[in-house]
Structure formats: C-alpha cells, structure tokens
Amino acid sequence: MTEDNKSIKEQTGYHITDVTESAKLPTPFGIFNIIAFKDEQNKEHAAVYMGDITTDAPVLARIHSECLTGDTMFSLKCDCGFQLEAAMKQIAKEKRGVLLYVRQEGRGIGLFNKIKAYHLQDNGMDTVDANLHLGFPADARHYEICAEMFNYLKVKSIKLMTNNPLKVAEMKKYNINVVERVAIEVGRNKYNENYLDTKEERMGHWLTHGNH
C-alpha cells in the first residue's frame, strides 16, 4: 500500500468537532430539517430528519454514503441515487425519520480513486478487485461518526434501511440500538446488476433481486 493510500485509510476514522443549528429543508417529498456536522478532517456531513426523533419509538434511519455520480449525476452504475430518493420518500411517508449523509465517497476512498476503480471496471474487474488492485480495502468506511451523529440527535433506537450487514454490526458495536433492518432494494438495472451481484456474493449484502 502506498503512503497516499495509507493516509486515505487513516482519514476515514474521524469524530465530530462542530455542529450547526438546524434549518428547514423543503424537498419534493416534504419539509425536512437539516443539520451539518464537521469532523476533525474538516469533512462536512449532514443529517436530514423529519418529526420528533428524540422519542422512544424506533426511528426509521438511513446511513447514506456519498456518491457524487449516483446522487447527483443520475448514474445507473450503482443504486445510490435510487436509494437516496427511496429513503427520503419513506421517511416523509412515515413523517418521522433521519438520513445521515456521510462524506465517504467511493466507500471511503474518495471520488478520484473511485473513478480510477471505474476505469478498471470498464476493463472487466469487479468492484472489489478494482479497489484491491488500487491498494485499498474493498470497503474503507468507518461508522463511529454515524453513531456520534445519532447520539447528538438523541435518537434512541433505529429501524435501519440497508442491505449491508456491516452497517448493522457497526451500529451495534457503537451501542446504537438497531431494532429492525429494513430492506432498501431499488434501482436494479442492466448497468448495475453485476455490481449488485458482486455486493451480494463478495460483500455479503442481503439482496433478494425482488425490486427491479
């Protein structure tokens, strides 16, 4: 692993250093509140939430890792944009819930390296091998900061929208009470089906192929 890659790996373990007041965030799905967080690497994260999330009833929650291509450029190469929209809609439907938008682009390796990985994928590698080929772990994300955000927001227990078993395990590790795992399987298409199959086969994601 190069020095550059080592420092990226280290940078992904961070803690909250600053928090804003909350502000209103109107969206097509409803009016959310938004709070921004800063961490010790000066990365800026956000929580968007609706309703009173401090009460005892489990809160519908999503931990969304930044994906510039999927979240803002309508990429069909992954399922991120679809999941972001589905999660916000579901929270709006329940009128209560929280989405953490965490700046862990490219599963923690950053946009630059994700695009390098995409280039390798264009030439036949899968998402895991491309990361390994570049000297990174398959997934370089850390989740302690997510637990810090939930704690800051006084969220007591969550119904976590994810297909990723690691997210459930990590939240439990940081003493966030995950009372339920809610599947969020949306946006499968011909450009991301291999990617999703690899997540299922090599990263252990719970995918049923049920929602095309």
Ligand X SMILES: Nc1nc2c(ncn2[C@@H]2O[C@H](COP(=O)(O)OP(=O)(O)OP(=O)(O)O)[C@@H](O)[C@H]2O)c(=O)[nH]1
Report the C-alpha gap between 80 and 189 in whole angstroms. 12
Rounded to a whole number of angstroms, the minimum distance from the CB of residue 193 to ligand X is 13
Rounded to a whole number of angstroms, the minimum distance from the CB of residue 83 to Zn ion is 8
CB under 5 to 8 A by kind: which of Zn ion, ligand X, none does 90 bind?
A: none
Rounded to a whole number of angstroms, the minimum distance from the CB of residue 203 to Zn ion is 14
Query: Does the annotation count 139 as an active-site position?
Result: yes
Annotated binding-site residue? 106: yes
Number of residues binding to Zn ion, judged by CB under 5 A: 4
Tokens at 7, concatenated: 């420092």
Annotated binding-site residue? 65: yes
* Amino acid type, 29: F
Q: Half-sphere exposure of residue 62, counting CA atoms within 13 Å on the CB side?
A: 27
105 binds ligand X (CB under 6 A): yes
Tokens at 114, concatenated: 């994700």
Report the C-alpha gap between 17 and 41 in whole angstroms. 9
Annotated binding-site residue? 127: yes
Helix, strand or coil, per DSSP, at residue 108: helix
Annotated binding-site residue? 202: no
Annotated binding-site residue? 66: yes
Rounded to a whole number of angstroms, the minimum distance from the CB of residue 69 to Zn ion is 6
The footprint of Zn ion on residues 67-86 (CB under 5 A) is 67, 70, 78, 80
Choose between 12 and 83: whose C-beta lies nearer to ligand X.
83
Instruction: Assess contact for 185 and 208: CB atoms under 8 A.
Output: yes
Q: Which of 122, 139, 181, 202 is an active site residue?
A: 139
Helix, strand or coil, per DSSP, at residue 184: coil
The footprint of ligand X on residues 153-182 (CB under 6 A) is 162-164, 167
Q: What is the largest CA-CA distance in the chain?
A: 50
Tokens at 12, concatenated: 């992904």
The footprint of ligand X on residues 118-137 (CB under 6 A) is 127, 131
- Candidate ranges 5-13, 30-38, 47-55, 61-69; the one touching ligand X (CB under 6 A): 61-69
Report the C-alpha gap between 172 and 204 in whole angstroms. 18
Judging by beta carbons within 10 Å of its beta carbon (0-12, 13-18, 19+), is residue 97 exposed, middle or buried? buried
**Which spans of this chain sit near ligand X (rule: CB under 6 A)?**
65-67, 78-80, 83, 104-107, 109, 114, 117, 127, 131, 162-164, 167, 199, 205
Q: Annotated catalytic sites, by residue?
A: 139, 141
